[in-house]
Amino acid sequence: MLRHLLPAAALFGAALITACAQTGAVPATTLAVPAEPEAGWRPFSADSPWNTKIPADARIDPKSDVLVADVGAAGSFYVNMPEWSVLVKYIDSSQAPKLPVRALYEGRYGPGFEPGKRVPLPADTLPEDATSAQRYYVTLVDPARNLAWDTRQLGRTEEGEWFAGFGAAVDLSGTGVAMPWMKAERADLSGGARPSGAPLMAGLLRVDEVKAGRIDHALAFAYPLAQTGKFLPPASMALDAPGKASERPIGLPMGARIQLDPAFDIDNTLLSPGAKTVAKALQEYGAILVDTAGATVLYAESGPEQLAKWEGVLAPGDLQSLFTTDFIATHFRVIDTGEPLPGVPRPVK
């Protein structure tokens, strides 16, 4: 089932990545510099909107009923894993080779990926057998230094040259919120791998926290009917529409936050233990819109190491028995976080 929508340029990039994956393969053990986060590690600062609970007296959006019905219209909540999620590779960046990454689309790059910059890239960053969907979002994370290098459409040519559709370095000790695009020297400098500008680690379900039974941050979600041309912080950019036919002036803008009714009794449901942990995070912290997708989805870390660990902890369909279209429409609400900001204007043709 298709869980993500790709623009034409992205389809081209994905095809190129697939082609490159079939050549110039490097043994997985070569130049590997793995690292593991310490127990209790959490990206971003305590005051980050990603790590802030929704207050009991939070204002509800006046159009909440209509908007959450829109969210549920695409079907039950699904957890993207392994495809169309984020391939996470934890590394010791001080030991990794530093290499340039060419912009797949001329002039499109974020902070830390400018021409002349070098990025820590172990030779085994991309698994040889991964599909283009699994490779679409890749982040290299140094948990000891709280740094990450987010990429979209990461790949490598036969000659060993790395390229990406977009790349951005992220300070994981900060708030996880880039300045709005209109305040940046160049709009892309406030961008990220996702169309919302949100870092790839923001809102990501992590194996260790679900296994421990406690998630202390908001979750990242996507759905098909997101609004274009508007955004709310913690997003820094809006979902763009390549043509008038794809514009959508209604729906949730990037950065909008939804919440599962805190009064709903999760413990007395038939959800798996892992799904109950996810549901309780949706009550305490909610979920923030970061992307558009072919279904209503959450995102889980999906590197090869994590995929092996998810077995018996959480499965892609574990939420679907309860989080149906009707349930989403009646038990979720949209938090009012202010007036949306405009997206980057498109040139008039």
- Can you tell me the mean pLDDT for 136-161? 96
CA pseudo-torsion sign 6, 10, 16, 20: negative
- Count the neighbouring beta carbons within 10 Å of the beta carbon of residue 37: 16
- Can you tell me the mean pLDDT for 18-32? 43
Read off the pLDDT of residues 85-117 as tens digits, 9 standing for 90 and up: 999 999 999 999 999 999 999 989 999 999 999
Which residues have C-beta within 8 Å of that of residue 165, sequence separation ≥ 6?
Answer: 9, 10, 13, 104, 105, 108, 151, 152, 153
In this predicted structure, what is the pLDDT of residue 347? 56
Torsion angle of alpha carbons 193, 304, 49, 329, nearest 10°?
90
Contact 138, 194 (CB under 8 A): no
Q: What is the Cα–Cα distance from 349 to 77, expressed in whole angstroms?
A: 39
Q: Where are any strands of DSSP class E within 91-172?
A: 98-99, 101-103, 119-120, 137-142, 147-152, 155-156, 162-164, 166-171
Read off the pLDDT of residues 254-271 as tens digits, 9 standing for 90 and up: 999 999 999 999 999 999
- Can you tell me the mean pLDDT for 166-195? 95
- Count the neighbouring beta carbons within 10 Å of the beta carbon of residue 159: 8
pLDDT tier, 346 (very low <50, low <70, confident <90, very high otherwise): low
In this predicted structure, what is the pLDDT of residue 245? 64
CA pseudo-torsion sign 137, 240, 336, 67: negative
pLDDT at residue 7 is higher than 70: no
Model-level pTM? 0.90
In this predicted structure, what is the pLDDT of residue 26? 41
